[in-house]
Amino acid sequence: MPGSNRSAAGSGPRRAEAPPPSVALTRFARPRSRGLTRRGSQRLWLVIFLAPATALFALFTTYPIVSALVYSLYRWEGIGRRELVGLENFVRLFTTFPYSQLLLNAFWHNVVVFVVTMLAQNVVALGLALLLARGPWGAKVYRVIFFLPVTLSLIIVGFLWALFLNPVFGIVNQLLATLGLAALARPWLGDTHTALVTLTLVNAWRWLGFPTIVFLAGINAVPDEYLEAARLDGATEWQVTRHVVFPLLASAVTIIVLLTFIGSFNWFELPYIVQGVSGGPNRSTDVLGLFFYRMAFGEVDTGLQDIGVGSAIAVLMFILLVTVSVFAAGWLRRREVELA
């Protein structure tokens, strides 16, 4: 998508054949005395400007990601690469014990994290954004407060809530007892039934402000005339929200769903910090990120490590994320064309 003023400012070799008259004068008015033409020297400057960033990006992000795909096709002994085995790592991951059980268990937990986050975090965020968009008293301060936990490290958040959720001394169970709800108190993070959802809610506590701000920006971007027109036609506030605001929020919703999806399937820090690399208790909080990490760098208690299988998990996660991202991006573009 060439921007209009970029082509006007353009000075590269491609345009030099037939440049706009004014530009042509400036370009060739002062040839370099060193013998380099302006064109040649500009090409050199482009290399100087672009090469460092491109080299750094290629070596430390593109190369590792592409290599991960290649690694999944080899047999590995510890950190040593052996012979090419085709898709054998994938077959082992899907069909042999304990890999297939662990994969299914972890994948299911990622799905749970995604669904619970959508309900407990994003739906609440949408409600808060709708309230804030009405400009109530203190709206600016609320915005700042709600976003605060987003800036905190997940390590701080994880350790803090691990202390709060301690079955004996934690404030959560103490609070329940004070409210006469002692029967509800339980080891939230130590019980296989509650651990994953509790941890997801801690995650939602940290992230809630983010979708709130994105939704709020989306609501504020709805032109006032649309709202006025609907109100003049006698629409109730709910009808205005439902039929005018929501359709125009579709882009913001898509972005948040996509980011929630990426976040849920890359989940690592919180379960690692709070529940350990094996996703305790009894793998009830094991997710793909932990499973991948254990295969790559070894599990402490079982000593199990398999870089081939680990790379296969990375490839699967990669395919999943790219597919969903491309799908969402395409959907977003179609929406924008419809609205334009």
Q: Which of residues 161-200 bind another protein (CB under 8 A)?
A: 161, 163-164, 169, 171, 174
Between 196 and 204, name the residue whose CB sits nearer to another protein.
204
Give the number of residues written for the chain: 340
Q: Does 204 bind another protein (CB under 8 A)?
A: no
Closest by Cα among 315, 335, 316, 338 to 327: 335
Per CB under 8 A, contacts with another protein among 296-325 are: 296-297, 307, 310-311, 314, 317-318, 321-322, 325
Region of 45-53, 82-90, 95-103, 191-199 interacting with another protein (CB under 8 A):
45-53
Between 193 and 217, name the residue whose CB sits nearer to another protein.
217
187 close to 281: Cβ distance less than 8 angstroms? no
The residue assigned the tokens 């080299």 is 55
Least distance to another protein, CB of residue 307, Å: 6
Q: ∠ CA(116), CA(205), CA(179), 5° rounding?
A: 95
The residue assigned the tokens 């054949």 is 17
98 close to 92: Cβ distance less than 8 angstroms? no
Per CB under 8 A, contacts with another protein among 84-123 are: none
Q: Does 213 bind another protein (CB under 8 A)?
A: yes
C-alpha of 244 from chain center: 28
Least distance to another protein, CB of residue 214, Å: 5
Between 57 and 193, name the residue whose CB sits nearer to another protein.
57
Q: Does 1 bind another protein (CB under 8 A)?
A: yes
Between 55 and 193, name the residue whose CB sits nearer to another protein.
55
User: H-type helices in the chain, by residue range?
Assistant: 4-9, 13-16, 21-29, 38-57, 63-71, 88-95, 99-117, 124-133, 139-147, 154-164, 171-178, 195-207, 209-220, 224-232, 237-240, 246-248, 250-265, 269-275, 288-297, 307-339
- Calpha distance 127→5 (Å, rounded): 41
- Calpha distance 262→322 (Å, rounded): 10
Between 67 and 96, name the residue whose CB sits nearer to another protein.
67
Per CB under 8 A, contacts with another protein among 260-289 are: 262, 266, 268-269, 272-273, 289
Q: Residues 49, 108, 226, 327: which binds another protein (CB under 8 A)? A: 49
287 close to 271: Cβ distance less than 8 angstroms? yes
Provide the token pair at 166.
């301690």
Q: Does 245 bind another protein (CB under 8 A)?
A: no
Between 191 and 336, name the residue whose CB sits nearer to another protein.
336
Q: Does 53 bind another protein (CB under 8 A)?
A: yes
Per CB under 8 A, contacts with another protein among 128-157 are: 128, 131-132, 134, 136-138, 142-156
Least distance to another protein, CB of residue 248, Å: 14
- Calpha distance 125→241 (Å, rounded): 15
- Tell me the number of residues near another protein by CB under 8 A: 107
Region of 94-102, 191-199, 203-211, 241-249 interacting with another protein (CB under 8 A):
203-211
269 close to 158: Cβ distance less than 8 angstroms? yes
Least distance to another protein, CB of residue 104, Å: 20
Q: Does 61 bind another protein (CB under 8 A)?
A: yes
- Calpha distance 313→99 (Å, rounded): 10
Q: Residues 196, 199, 214, 240: which binds another protein (CB under 8 A)? A: 214
Between 119 and 155, name the residue whose CB sits nearer to another protein.
155
Closest by Cα among 242, 190, 247 to 218: 247
Between 138 and 247, name the residue whose CB sits nearer to another protein.
138
Closest by Cα among 271, 200, 152, 176 to 292: 271
Between 36 and 229, name the residue whose CB sits nearer to another protein.
36
